[in-house]
Amino acid sequence: MNPIQAEILSTNKTQDENGNPVELHSSVDKEEIEFISGLIKDNQLYRAVEVGCAMGMSSLAIADAINHAPGAAHYIIDPFQKSQWKNIGVTNLKKAGYNQFTLIEDYSEFALPRLVKEGVRVNFGFIDGWHTFDHTLIDFFYINRMLDIGGIVVIDDLQMTPINRMIRYLYNYPCYEFAGRVMNREITSKRRFFDTAAKVFGGLKYITGQKVAAELYSSKLLKSDKELKLDSSMIAFKKIAADERDWKWYANF
């Protein structure tokens, strides 16, 4: 973690572009920062697109992780960085010495299609923008168009119902696989039971078939809505193949 970010976390304070002190809020935490950084470094990713900057804590994590990679690029989409956030995010990035980012002060539903049309390719995406189901799905739709095979997309605030529902839908995409999550501290008795069962009865998929086994272990079926909200705060998916769904593809979620 870079020193600027470490200081902000330790003091819970940052500054706007004019040097005015601001209490840290609306931010990813230390565990989430380490999760983002670890995914990028472990998978050697270096071209990122990020929806939502705010105070720049996720932006700092991404910038720090890709900083020394040849060809590093970081597209940050935040229509309110100047008007609402007083440039706190980009100020922190500049203080930390990161200059390889491009700030796009526009709504993601307009900015992302432009990047796609321009032929921009990325291998890491971070979605933390407008938190409705449709906006999150639109953000993912366009990032999927930009994301290379082997790339990873991370979605924040899984505990929120609209994000939770969108993740249920994303779980069905054949070209993505689960790549990790940041867990909330609470864990349900059902999950403990099935985790234990998975270790004891490792051959369950051979008895029931892979599809049935996957459904049995699926968190979306094991947990109620309330439990799902408590389970994770951030989730990652890895793109394992080209998106070749046909024009009528659909899966229940």
CB atoms within 10 A of CB 149: 12
Q: Are 14 and 90 in contact (CB under 8 A)?
A: no
Report mean pLDDT in 10-residue bins for the chain, 253 residues. Answer: 90 93 89 95 96 94 91 96 94 92 97 98 97 97 98 93 92 94 58 45 45 46 44 91 95 88
Q: Are 59 and 93 in contact (CB under 8 A)?
A: yes
Residue-range domain boundaries for the chain: 3-186+232-239, 189-222
Residue type, 34: E
Rounded Cα gap, residues 125 and 147, in angstroms: 8
Q: Which helix (H) or strand (E) holds 204?
A: helix 204-208
pLDDT of residue 218: 52
The CATH number, out of the four listed (3.20.20.450, 1.20.1730.10, 3.40.50.150, 3.40.190.10), of the domain defined by the range 3-186+232-239: 3.40.50.150
CA distances from 59 to 84, 93, 162, 235 (A): 17, 7, 23, 17
pLDDT of residue 253: 83
pLDDT of residue 177: 94
pLDDT of residue 217: 45
Rounded Cα gap, residues 57 and 70, in angstroms: 23
Query: What residues contact 18, with CB distance under 8 A and at least 6 apart?
Result: 86
Q: What is the pTM of this model?
A: 0.82
Q: Are 156 and 32 in contact (CB under 8 A)?
A: yes
Query: What residues contact 237, with CB distance under 8 A and at least 6 apart?
Result: 152, 153, 155, 170, 173, 176, 177, 178, 179
pLDDT of residue 159: 84
Q: Are 17 and 86 in contact (CB under 8 A)?
A: yes
Nearest to 170 by CA among 130, 220, 214: 220
Nearest to 73 by CA among 107, 32, 103, 43: 103
Instruction: Please name the residue that has the structure tokens 């109620």.
Output: 224
The backbone torsions φ and ψ at residue 164, rounded to the nearest 5 degrees and listed phi first, read -55, -45
Burial letters for 5-16: b for 16+ Cβ neighbours within 10 Å, e otherwise?
beebbeeeebee
pLDDT of residue 206: 43
Rounded Cα gap, residues 241 and 176, in angstroms: 7
Beta strands in the chain (DSSP E): 13-15, 21-23, 47-51, 73-77, 101-104, 122-127, 147-156, 176-183, 232-239
pLDDT of residue 97: 92
pLDDT of residue 184: 64
Rounded Cα gap, residues 49 and 59, in angstroms: 10
pLDDT of residue 222: 41
Residue type, 32: E
